[in-house]
Amino acid sequence: MIVCTTISELKAALARQRSKSPNGFIGLVPTMGYLHEGHASLMRRAGSECEFTVVSVFVNPLQFGPNEDFDKYPRDLERDAALAEKNGVALLFAPSVKEMYPTKPLTRVLISEVTESLCGASRPGHFDGVGTVVSKLFNLIQPNRAYFGMKDAQQVAVIQQMVDDLNMPVDIIPCETVREPDGLAMSSRNVYLTPEQRRQALVLSETLQQAGELIQSPEMTASKLTALASANVLTAPLAVIDYVELLHYPSLQPLDPVLKLADRSDKLILALAVKFGSTRLIDNRLFQPAGGDPNVQNHDEIQASPSYSH
């Protein structure tokens, strides 16, 4: 596996690959490091569909607010490199902040509407940073396909909107959330949880599972479902809710709170953000009440744009 820490090294390695295999697909898995099985599943998916897989490891300061955990975000490049190599990655790009932002960036990528709810509302400026760094990675690597986990479903919607609006020649491939055996969504931030917080955090996946049953109730509405979901989350004494919202997906626009859900054939998302101590966890589930089994989440259907690179 090639390890690049500078943009010049990255470009040289990619130029060699393209010279050797001009028509070979390049897949990108963008990460902030401290990799886990969720990331590994994206790498394996990319490896099964692309000839050359690139993983980026970069803790992007632009997407952290002033009181967030940028400085203490877990980092272990040696561990990340070992996991990436084990999962067939061809190139690991691990630049420093100075390498990615040699001077103060005066250009930002701003995506509106899909960024204005959920994490976009509770973390102002977060998705400006996400859009900016992902567009930089797309420009540097020029992948045919980029792979994102659906644990952060809003991020997937935001990146897809950016790609569609700017005609970026990359397919966005959303991939299933990977969970621990007990249901907790895998996250680099799980390492922060105390044993008791970790136990209580299971209320997130349990709430989403319960919602899958409740949404089929004939009289269930958006306001009732979010109220019941919020109440269930709060059965965990340590849980502090940031948001519990049911929205259209991928537009992330609000639903009429009083319309019955069981007859809806459009795609909906129930998204949760909950703090346990200082650790903020997110999770979500997609539903299509009248359009199929609400317990089946086929994320491949979310892929919105045709390939510009085939």
- Residues marked active site are found at 39
CB 127: neighbour CB atoms within 10 A? 28
Q: Is 37 annotated as a binding residue?
A: yes
Q: Is 161 annotated as a binding residue?
A: no
Q: Is 248 annotated as a binding residue?
A: no
Q: Is 35 annotated as a binding residue?
A: yes
Q: Is 11 annotated as a binding residue?
A: no
Amino acid found at 239: A
Q: Is 117 annotated as a binding residue?
A: no
C-alpha to C-alpha distance for 23 and 309, rounded to whole angstroms: 10
CB 177: neighbour CB atoms within 10 A? 22
Task: Kindly state the helix (H) or strand (E) to which residue 280 belongs, with its residue range.
Answer: strand 279-287
Residues 122 and 273 sit within 8 Å (Cβ to Cβ): yes
Amino acid found at 23: N
Identify how many contiguous H helices and E strands the chain contains and give both numbers: 10, 9
| DSSP helix/strand/coil, 223 | helix
Q: Is 34 annotated as a binding residue?
A: yes
Q: Is 187 annotated as a binding residue?
A: yes
Q: Is 189 annotated as a binding residue?
A: yes
Q: Is 308 annotated as a binding residue?
A: no
Residues 158 and 131 sit within 8 Å (Cβ to Cβ): yes
Q: Is 280 annotated as a binding residue?
A: no
Amino acid found at 69: D
C-alpha to C-alpha distance for 141 and 54, rounded to whole angstroms: 8
Q: Is 149 annotated as a binding residue?
A: yes
Map tokens 């909950």 to a residue: 274
Instruction: Show binding-site residues for beta-alanine.
Output: 63
Instruction: Show binding-site residues.
Output: 32-39, 63, 149-152, 155, 178, 186-189
Instruction: Show binding-site residues for (R)-pantoate.
Output: 63, 155
Instruction: Show binding-site residues for ATP.
Output: 32-39, 149-152, 178, 186-189
